[in-house]
Amino acid sequence: MKVTEHIAQAKGKTLFSLEILPPMKGQDIQCTFKTLDPLVDLKPAFIDVTYHRQEYVYKQHDNGLLKRNSVRKRPGTVAICAAIQNHYKVDAIPHLICGGFTKENTEDALIDLNFLGIDNVLILRGDPIKSEKSFVPEKEGHAFASELIDQVAKMNAGHYLDDELQDTNATDFCIGVAGYPEKHFESPNLSMDMHFLKKKVDLGAEYIVTQMFFDNQKYIDFVKKCREMEILIPIIPGIKPLTTLNQLTTIPKNFYIDLPEALAIEVMKAKDREAIKEIGIEWCIEQSKELKRLGAPVLHYYTMSNSINTQRIAKAVF
């Protein structure tokens, strides 16, 4: 079922959803099921599976020369979505990125997803890979999420890349996109970032999932600004608990977001690791309860494949 249909059927009740990562290469699907088993009991409306493109690693040979190898550490997004739908009968949503894909690769991936009965796709540009300073699109690929949305929207209208194809099947994907309450890191300002968000909506996006935030006021202001710009589709807050001292610096560094002063002070005063985890989980529970009161359509939890924390939060909130 489409995300928009889940939201419509809920009639104003806040739903619960999850994002997981594919397991590291070498692990089996039981690893994913082990993460999901306790969470699926709580009846998530849908489960997102992230996409991880290849990275380059350098290996030194006996003669001292370095060889560049291309590796994908977490392959399997599409197959994991199929396995989740098959095993749990819960909608699984693959993330589909521009990076590393030509338009032809994207079309083939969408054909596979359509055959597998996947109804939703979260469309993203993807980040630059570690060896690149800024995002470099494939030669025959897309430079921005909006271009990829346009390709999916065209397939939804029955138009494939080869315009000589006859009697084509129109796909019917519900398209989700990313939104950034604290702006995307490359954007010169929030207004310009939101201008491009509006473009994604005008091209066919039907719902937005936000980057994580720890201060609900950021979400409230973002939703208000979206509505003023006639971005009227559901805006799903993405959240996660802070659970380690290290994350006080890694979260702002990796996700380009601020952590509220009150949270940071509490974490710094905590006596040990367990106390920090408790503070982070309690913060996330309070954040979730407020977002629910505010009428957020879905609370989307970035589990980082840690089911125990998410299970505790979801049990306290739903």
Residue 124 interacts with ligand FAD (CB under 6 A)? Answer: yes
What type of residue is 314? A
Residues 203-262 that bind ligand FAD (CB under 6 A): 209, 211, 238
How many other C-beta atoms lie within 10 A of the C-beta of residue 168?
Answer: 13
For residue 186 the two structure tokens come to 């490359």
Of the candidates 27, 14, 37, 15, the residue with the CA atom closest to the CA atom of residue 84: 37
CA 95 to CA 256: how far, in whole Å? 20
- Residue 114: which H helix or E strand, with range? helix 103-115
Q: Considering the complex, what minimum distance in angstroms separates the CB of residue 65 from ligand FAD?
A: 31
**List 3, 193, 222, 234, residue binding ligand FAD (CB under 6 A):** 193
Between 151 and 279, name the residue whose CB sits nearer to ligand FAD.
151
**List 17, 32, 146, 309, residue binding ligand FAD (CB under 6 A):** 146
Of the candidates 231, 128, 235, the residue with the CA atom closest to the CA atom of residue 178: 235
Q: Considering the complex, what minimum distance in angstroms separates the CB of residue 67 from ligand FAD?
A: 25
Mask: binding to ligand FAD, 82-121, rule CB under 6 A, as x and -? -------------x-x------------------------
3-state SS, 39-58, equals HHCCCCCEEEECCCCCEEEE
Stretch touching ligand FAD by CB under 6 A, among 102-110, 182-190, 246-254, 284-292: 182-190
CA 118 to CA 81: how far, in whole Å? 8
Site residues, ligand FAD (CB under 6 A) = 50-51, 95, 97, 124-127, 144-146, 178, 184, 186-187, 193, 196, 200, 209, 211, 238
